[in-house]
Amino acid sequence: MKFGVVVFPGSNCDLDAYHFVKDVLAQPVDYIWHQEESVAGYECIILPGGSSYGDYLRSGAIASFSPVMKAVKDFALRGGLVIGIGNGFQILVEAGLLPGALYRNTALQFRCQFTYLKVENYFTPFTKAIERGRLLKIPIAHGEGNYYVDKDTLHRLEVKGQIIFRYATEQAEVTAAANPNGSVFNIAGVCNENKNVLGMMPHPERAGEAILGSEDGKMIFDSILKHWEGSRL
Amino acid sequence: MLKAQIKVLLKQSVLDPQGQAVEKALGALGYNNVEKVRVGKYLEVTLAENDLDAANKQVQEMCERLLTNSVIEDYTFTLVEV
């Protein structure tokens, strides 16, 4: 399965994502420069974390207009798999590929810590290989990961199964104390209605090897591989 | 030429963590009558354009496409001659 990692000026988790796909998943992967106008030949596009365009104006706002994003939008509309991590999530909401907005953490701190994620929907390309009831231990590192949607949109996301991950305690309780950034409904990751585009603030590519403290991030990518293999049968 | 003076604020329904922090800091400085603080952005965009209607339309479009995020922000602007 061929992965492409988009590189914007200011991306800084592009190397992590590339290393993860190449060395942990053992799948082919290329960097895709943001000026590229095509993503042809790739089966999954990763928008990595970082601070594209210095987070100027709003995180992800300027990157969402880069030439490659037009191609990523077309790719997503045709059903291609796209995963945005951290800043990549911010770019996806700014590009209108995912609902909602991400802004400053309520605690006013940059939060760099492990979080525990409760999986809310197992019937997506990103979660289908995850053991039922299993909490994912995946780190966050952001100052603007506070996810906001209005009440009507939240209701719609719930009904359509678009809420994928929620911050929980180690005991799997979704509480205010487990919420690191003030996100509505403890939301850590959402999908589009078709479930082929995922955005999440936690970094699964930083949780793929035991030496990093967790291998749980791999389950998300194992799901992607399982989905892709299934779609080829 | 016309200059757009654009003010962007988080919507009233959206919590403003920055505003709250500033509000607390003002309280700590002894300004006990500070009721509420909201922190936003101010942008100036100068246009090579003299037609008010055209500039009005363009600034609105630029605000909606890039300068603001309608999910969390509201904006107002005025045009002045420069």
For chain A, the domains span: 3-232
Give residue B17's pLDDT: 93
Q: What is the pLDDT of residues B4-60, one digit of tens each?
A: 999 999 999 999 999 999 999 999 999 999 999 999 999 999 999 999 999 999 999
**Please, are residues B29 and B80 in contact by the beta-carbon 8 Å criterion?**
no
Matching residue, tokens 């995963």: A83
Q: What is the pLDDT of residues A64-102, one digit of tens each?
A: 999 999 999 999 999 999 999 999 999 999 999 999 999
**Please, are residues A114 and A137 in contact by the beta-carbon 8 Å criterion?**
yes
**How many other C-beta atoms lie within 10 A of the C-beta of residue A155?**
11
Which of A62, A104, A156 should we substitute to test contact with B (largest number of B Cβ atoms within 10 Å)? A104
Give residue A108's pLDDT: 86
Among A164, A157, A159, smallest CA distance to A200 is for: A164
**Please, are residues A58 and B41 in contact by the beta-carbon 8 Å criterion?**
no
In what helix (H) or strand (E) does residue A47 lie, and over which residues does it extend?
strand A44-47
Is A56 in the B-facing interface, judged by CB distances under 8 Å?
A: no
Shortest distance, CA B33 to any CA of chain A (angstroms)? 24
For B2-81, give the CATH class.
alpha beta
**B21 contacts in chain A (CB < 8 Å):** 108
Residues with Cβ within 8 Å of residue A151, at least 6 apart in sequence:
none
Is B64 in the A-facing interface, judged by CB distances under 8 Å?
A: no
Q: How far is CA A25 from the centre of its chain?
A: 17
User: What parts of chain A have a pLDDT lower than 70?
Assistant: 233
**Helix (H/G/I), strand (E/B), else coil: A145:** coil
Q: How confident is the model at residue B61 (pLDDT cuts 50, 70, 90)?
A: very high
Give residue A184's pLDDT: 98
A58 → closest Cβ in B14, B21, B69: B69
Structure tokens, A196: 């082929």
Query: How far is Cα A82 from Cα A93, in angstroms, rounded to an integer?
Result: 13
> Between 3.90.1150.10, 3.40.50.1220, 3.30.70.980, 3.40.50.880, what CATH number should domain A3-232 receive?
3.40.50.880
Question: What are the C-alpha distances in Å from B49 to residues A91, A123, B56?
Answer: 31, 53, 10
Query: How far is Cα A20 from Cα A27, in angstroms, rounded to an integer?
Result: 9
Size of interface A-B (CB pairs under 8 A): 34
Is A95 in the B-facing interface, judged by CB distances under 8 Å?
A: no
**How many other C-beta atoms lie within 10 A of the C-beta of residue B57?**
11
Question: What are the C-alpha distances in Å from B35 to residues A156, A203, B24, B32, B40?
Answer: 35, 39, 10, 8, 17
pLDDT at B80 over 80: yes
Give residue A30's pLDDT: 98
Cβ under 8 Å to A: B residues 1-60: 10, 13-15, 17-18, 21
Question: What are the C-alpha distances in Å from B13 to residues A24, A58, A102, A145?
Answer: 43, 19, 15, 18
Among A111, A116, A82, smallest CA distance to A96 is for: A82
Question: What are the C-alpha distances in Å from B40 to residues A158, A183, B28, B44?
Answer: 31, 20, 21, 14
- Here the ipTM equals 0.90
Is A149 in the B-facing interface, judged by CB distances under 8 Å?
A: yes
What single-letter DSSP state applies at residue A54?
G
Give residue A232's pLDDT: 78
**B14 contacts in chain A (CB < 8 Å):** 103, 148
Is A180 in the B-facing interface, judged by CB distances under 8 Å?
A: no
**B18 contacts in chain A (CB < 8 Å):** 104, 108
**Please, are residues A115 and A202 in contact by the beta-carbon 8 Å criterion?**
yes
Average pLDDT along chain A = 97
